[in-house]
């Protein structure tokens, strides 16, 4: 398969809701295989279809979980259920990053557990439930498909820090709204 360029904040594909997949075609299967290759090349734990320029409601994930193998799969037409109450932001220990805001990390309080339902490429029901990093991943990727980036959810001084960091990166000014993980590392973009 192939590694595809990843869209960067400011690209219109990231700020519009995606469209429900009506039928899994060979083109969709190729897209998913390319998404796994792209996610791996970029050292990501999740990737939404609109991050590689597709308007389809699909994401892939390969996320570490405690005491076991990575949770790995694809979800077509995911529906998210957030579970639990997000901790106060000051208790947030780990920042959140995004392949579409490469090289940046900011604290964001997410729900501690999440469940996504959808289907796999063969139309079988998929239910993925997780906590901690997997919960964050499920929320993050579903947000992408709804047209939101994690930086859209930041508040207060952290939101301003993110705006400044993004401005300093100059992506919009340069008009370079994609990067190629087969030739670049996220912190070099």
For the residues of 70-83, what is the DSSP string, one character each? PEEEEEEEEEEEEE
Tell me whether residue 144 is annotated as binding: yes
Q: Is 43 left (phi over 0), alpha (psi -120 to 50) or beta?
A: left
The closest alpha carbon to 6, from 55, 39, 45, 43, belongs to 39
Name which of 151, 145, 189 is nearest 54 in CA terms. Answer: 145
For residues 181 and 3, the answer to whether their CB atoms sit within 8 Å is yes
> Tokens 């639990």 — which residue?
84
Active site residue 141: yes
- From the list 141, 160, 164, 188, the catalytic residue is 141
Residue 140 annotated as binding?
yes
How many whole angstroms separate alpha carbon 175 and alpha carbon 172? 5
Instruction: Check the annotation: does 137 bind a ligand.
Output: no
Enumerate helices (H) and strands (E) in the chain, giving the number of each.
4, 9
Place of tokens 């590694």: 3
Catalytic machinery residues: 141
**Residues in the annotated binding site for Fe cation:** 98, 140, 144
């Amino acid at each position: 398969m192939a590694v595809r360029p990843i869209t960067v904040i400011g690209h219109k594909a990231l700020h519009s809701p995606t469209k429900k997949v009506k039928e899994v075609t060979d083109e969709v299967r190729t897209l998913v295989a390319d998404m796994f290759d792209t996610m791996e090349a970029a050292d990501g734990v999740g990737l939404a279809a609109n991050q590689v320029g597709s308007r389809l409601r699909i994401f892939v994930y390969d996320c570490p979980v405690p005491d076991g193998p990575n949770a790995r799969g694809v979800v077509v037409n995911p529906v998210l259920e957030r579970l639990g109450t997000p901790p106060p932001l000051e208790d947030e220990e780990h920042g959140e990053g995004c392949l579409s805001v490469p090289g940046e990390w900011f604290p964001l309080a997410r729900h501690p557990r999440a469940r996504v339902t959808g289907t796999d490429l063969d139309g079988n029901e998929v239910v993925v439930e997780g906590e901690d990093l997997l919960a964050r991943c499920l929320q993050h990727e579903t947000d992408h498909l709804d047209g939101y980036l994690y930086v859209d959810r930041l508040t207060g001084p952290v939101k301003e820090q993110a705006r400044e960091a993004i401005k300093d990166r100059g992506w919009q000014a340069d008009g370079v709204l994609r990067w190629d993980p087969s030739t670049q590392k996220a912190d070099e973009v």
